[in-house]
Structure 1
């Protein structure tokens, strides 16, 4: 009976999320169409405001449904201040697709709307791909070494796409999200990389340094986010099936190194070395923090968005 109820709960949660998606994506597409057709700046600004409002409502409704349908508790610890009108680069470890709804629940309407760098293939996800495009999520097309060897003219196109995406964010409050490891953590990937960290993959400094350089003073600070599942690595099915008792999230606000704002990661070896040392230092601290956050469940330090 318990298994049956959990499966029923998971199906019902998925249905409710799907209905919420359709309800919110429909007006979002209408506003996006108006924005694309009318190139008048004041109208486009109003459309941007409306698009963000719809997206934040979408996240709030999904979070409320998960709060009602599951017993998952999010424990949050914040070192610093979160401002809705801030300009942040958000860096986090990445274990599972569950990280995304967790981050959205934690940050929704506390900081500017989170925008993720997405693989170009995700544009074709039904409903969501167009929604992400309408919300100015940056789509990145990555090329393998073999492809670049055959077509050297493609080199640098992903970097240029990042630069164009960042230009849109220079004049508005923004939260640019970056999973620094570049992929989700699995035991196989950890072994293949021979990662020096117990709970993390090797961080990739290039993308972080490039975003900082492209946005410059448009960024206020870095939000260093650590996500831990004390019960073990979990999936979206576990979330909808009410099999995640607790998620712990630690957030700390950090200054951005000045050298990364003004220097070139690609052409200046000194800047490249400093960026890599900075990111590696963050990851060493994060690895130690995760070890401490994996202890048995404790009462929440702050009310959870999931209850």
Structure 2
């Protein structure tokens, strides 16, 4: 729509719209959260639904904002069959800050609304932190291996946070979004971490395993997302702000959570090895898929209309 504008003006327009839209929704969710506190836990599901409706409004607005200054081609392969009452765990590779916006655009019509596992530092971002807290999104600290060696008492902090967050979603249709790599991919990070993959970081399976264990049969599917920005691989978020985001490749597959993926990751060593190997194999397939995306984009179906990515309106 406004793709004719110079890059510096596009940056201003996109930042303004993102900030205003996010601030408005965050403020509304904060009000809902504060009112919920006054009821001391009563009517919990009512206030969660109210906050979720605010979140869905944000998802739709993000979808619209992404098309204002960018003429982006969406190359997609989405093989899922969502149901209104289902709960999902969504896992995705992590490339850029743009990933969250892309997932928002793709999942806007999908029920239930996504809930992200976030870094603890985001709790202190104005408006956003309080809004995410109001949506019961868990904040994880992501301690380094060196820090945990010096402070072993912190080893299970994120695990307990994950468990408490999962308990809040008991009985409520939920989509929990997890980036198993724990950080955005860069060639430098990949080299430092000795990642065995060409396009991905190593995975951290604990959060996924704890989520499946904590909510049991409420989760019966995993949505496996593979993202790639073939024409803007280094700075996709900046390219989006400047109106230069040419192409988004996204693939989503369903994985049934079978009995062999349910168990105690912390106390059952045999299950821990099995689950870790399963996730490694899944990430190996994802790494190969990204390589294939880069070589042969025609392997995916193509669509230039982001408004028709997923339609599952109730």
Distance 1:192 1:303, change over 3 A: same
* Alpha-carbon distance in 1 for matches of 2:268, 2:114: 30
User: Is the 8 Å Cα contact of residues 89 and 178 (structure 1) preserved in structure 2?
Assistant: yes
Distance 1:73 1:111, change over 3 A: farther
1:75 maps onto 2:82 in alignment: no
User: Is the 8 Å Cα contact of residues 228 and 293 (structure 1) preserved in structure 2?
Assistant: yes
SS of match in other structure, 2:306: coil
Distance 1:296 1:243, change over 3 A: farther
Alignment of 1:68-217 (within 5 A): 68-145=68-145, 147-217=147-217
CA offset digits 1:161-198 (Å, max 9, x no partner) = 11100111121111111111111111111112222211
Length-normalised TM-score, structure 2: 0.89
* Alpha-carbon distance in 1 for matches of 2:33, 2:197: 43
* Alpha-carbon distance in 2 for matches of 1:89, 1:167: 14
Task: Count residues with an aligned counterpart.
Answer: 304
| Structure 1 runs not aligned, ≥5 long | none
User: Is the 8 Å Cα contact of residues 180 and 204 (structure 2) preserved in structure 1?
Assistant: yes
Deviation at 1:78, TM superposition (A): 1.5
Deviation at 1:85, TM superposition (A): 2.9
Distance 1:31 1:185, change over 3 A: same
Deviation at 1:145, TM superposition (A): 4.6
Deviation at 1:277, TM superposition (A): 1.3
Deviation at 1:152, TM superposition (A): 4.0
Length-normalised TM-score, structure 1: 0.91
Alignment of 1:205-244 (within 5 A): 205-233=205-233, 234-244=235-245
1:35 maps onto 2:62 in alignment: no
* Alpha-carbon distance in 1 for matches of 2:244, 2:12: 14
CA offset digits 1:204-224 (Å, max 9, x no partner) = 222221211112111020111
1:275 maps onto 2:275 in alignment: yes
Report the equivalent of 1:252: 253
* Alpha-carbon distance in 2 for matches of 1:149, 1:295: 42
Deviation at 1:13, TM superposition (A): 1.4
Deviation at 1:19, TM superposition (A): 1.8
| Structure 2 runs not aligned, ≥5 long | 310-314
CA offset digits 1:120-176 (Å, max 9, x no partner) = 111001111111111111011333455445544433222111110011112111111
